[in-house]
Structure 1
Amino acid sequence: MCPSYVGKVGAQLFGVVNNDGKVQFITPLTVTEDFLELNKDKNSLEQRFRFTGKCVEKGCAQWDNSESKCSLSRKVQNLELHKEAELFYCPIRTQCRWFSQDGKEACFSCNEVTRNMEELLVQIKQ
């Protein structure tokens, strides 16, 4: 599962961004049209929530064909963020693309990352 999925019908909502900017992970909920309608007039969904969905591998711009893995995981790990020292609760860890390829190192900054931050990071690093 991709831990940096877009908020669309069928995606799984698995985190809510708190006032302190950290993501509070929750038991995944399926995104519905009603959810999107209720949240359409506010800031970008991806600034306020974390979503997961099926990793599309080669169908994603972040896929590194030479290494056969997601390149975004390593970029997130290299961010200058407050990194956790212990693993925190994550409802998708056992299915997470980043965890499966990079282990617990991929988890330590994950609760400070939103998709919009990742998009900015990708633009800067290219």
Structure 2
Amino acid sequence: MCPSYLGKTGAQLFGVLGKDGKVNFITPLTVTEEFLELNKKKSNLEQRFRFTGKCAEKGCSQWNKEESKCSLSQKVQTLEKDRVQELSFCPIRSQCRWFFQDRENACFSCNEVTRNMEELLLSI
């Protein structure tokens, strides 16, 4: 599962951005048309929520074809933020592409990430 998915019908909502700027993970909820309708007038969904869905692998611009893995996981790990050093609750860890690739190292900065950061990380 991709931990940096788009907020669209059928995706799983698994995190909510807190006032402290960190993502608080929740038990996943399936995104419905009603949820999208209720939130369409507010700022970009991906700036406020974390979504997961099936990893597109080669169909995604973040896929590193040479290494056959997601390049975004490594970029997230280089963030100069307040990295935690112990694993916290994550409802998708057992299915997460980043965890599968990079184990615990992928988790330490994960709650710092919202999908709008992807544009910033693409320049790294």
Residue 93 of structure 1: aligned partner: 93
Moved over 2 A (4+): none
TM-score with structure 1 setting the length: 0.97
Equivalent residues in 2 for 1:70-109, closer than 5 Å:
70-109=70-109
| Secondary structure in structure 1 of the residue aligned to 2:117 | helix
- Per the TM alignment, residue 49 of structure 1 is displaced from its structure 2 partner at its CA by 0.1
Q: 1:70·1:97 contact (CA, 8 Å) conserved in 2?
A: yes
Unaligned runs of 5+ in 2: none
Q: Which residue matches 1:112?
A: 112
Distance 1:5 1:22 in 2: 17
2:10 is matched with 10
Identity of aligned residues (%): 74
CA distance in 1, matches of 2:59, 2:117: 21
Aligned to 1:39: 39
Q: Contact 1:76 / 1:118 at 8 angstroms: preserved in 2? A: no
> Shift in Å at residue 119 of structure 1?
2.1
SS in 2 for 1:36: helix
What does 1:15-30 correspond to in 2, within 5 Å? 15-30=15-30
Superposition TM-score, scaled by structure 2 size: 0.98
- Equivalences, count: 124
Instruction: Encode CA deviations 1:62-95: one digit per residue, 9 max, x unaligned.
Output: 0001000000000000111110011000000000
Deviation at 1:120, TM superposition (A): 1.8
Q: Which whole-Å CA distance do the structure 1 matches of 2:119 and 2:33 have between them?
A: 24
How far apart in 2 are the matches of 1:91 and 1:119?
Answer: 25
* Structure 1 Cα separation of the partners of residues 75 and 97 of structure 2: 14
